[in-house]
Amino acid sequence: MRHFFVDNALHWLREYHIDGLRLDATHALHDESEPHFLAALSAAVDDHIDGPERFLIAEDSRNQSLLVQPRDADGHGLDAVWSNDLHHQLRVFTAGDTQGCYRDFQGTTTDDIATTLRDGWFFRGGHSEHVGGPRGTDPAPVDRTQCVVFIQNHDQVGNRPAGNRLTDDVSPATYRALSVLLCVVQEIPLLFMGQEWAASTPFQFFTDHNDEIGPRVTEGRTEEFADVSGFAGDVPDPQAKATFERSVLDWDEPRRPPHDGVLALYHDLLALRPQLGDEIRVDARSDTTLLLERPPVHIIVNLKGAAQVDMPSALTAILHTEQSGYTVAPQPPAVSADAVSFSRAGAVVLGAA
């Protein structure tokens, strides 16, 4: 079976020239043999794949540094690992989530968010109420570019009762601010399909099983959310064709407001990303604001309400989330020689005057 799975991965990389593989739920992969299956897989990819580098990325909730440590240092040698903590912190802070995995996060100030951005993840062995025990390891051996971060993904949308996106739960201004934060950090940003234009379509859990398995999935999905507080609606039937059809992206949206403005913002942020310096300093400037310094650029992010942040030096705004090209109802921040004032959530990218 080990050979089967390794050869299957090599087949996709070698025959179809896939850039890389996301390894699903590696936290649920139990292997006590030597070498561990993940180490064997990464070694096989290194040995048998020629040409451009191919990437192996672990979807893993444990914050385990060994996943990306070199094999000669007793690691598994993968290229990157998902870091769920940032997503959970931002959802708690901006959308007010409190159940399930979100119980582990306070969401009252930006201090914890700053810690995660500086270190790669937040939990490093402390007690997790959701897990019921310790979670995580020291992130110090892990490079920030080995951490994949996101504000949405297939699980965090599809596993919600109605498949609602982040844009359904936070204001457009907050969503733009979160988008800036995601795109300017050292970690690798993951974009979930349609997020780059604030897609209005949900992503609901849908299946196409046979008559034996299908009804069980439908029943299980209903039972899963029976005790979720605040949710009293009908769970979409995974087996219904309409559930799938509601989840199909509307490809006309990116060409009309307000979606075209969000797409323009993402376009400019991704163009900016290669210009950011290799070093980063992250400070929580207040309960709602963050300052990220990536010379020659500084970024101020306000995640909630009105706020004022002192300017780090004589800089000028080169991009902000309230530009007329990004929103149909702009409320631009006031940028002076010594401060930036926000009337609502937003972000400003500052450069040399």
317 torsion bin: left (phi>0), alpha (psi -120 to 50), beta (else): beta
**Whether the Cβ atoms of residue 168 and residue 204 lie closer than 8 Å to each other:** no
Catalytic residue from among 7, 24, 129, 250: 24
**What is the rounded CA–CA span in Å between residue 22 and residue 80?**
9
* Packing angle of the helix pair 2-15, 37-48 (nearest 10 deg): 40
**What is the rounded CA–CA span in Å between residue 151 and residue 149?**
7
**For the range 9-13, what are the long-range contacts, defined as Cβ-Cβ under 8 Å and sequence gap of 24 or more?**
9/41, 9/44, 9/45, 10/44, 10/45, 10/48, 10/49, 13/45, 13/49, 13/54
**Whether the Cβ atoms of residue 351 and residue 184 lie closer than 8 Å to each other:** no
SS3 86: helix
Please, what is the Cα angle at 169 between 166 and 170, to 5 degrees? Answer: 85
Active site residue 24: yes
Dihedral of alpha carbons 328, 318, 265, 118, sign: negative
Catalytic residue from among 59, 104, 119, 237: 59
Active site residue 196: no
**Whether the Cβ atoms of residue 128 and residue 27 lie closer than 8 Å to each other:** no
Catalytic residues, by residue number, are 24, 59
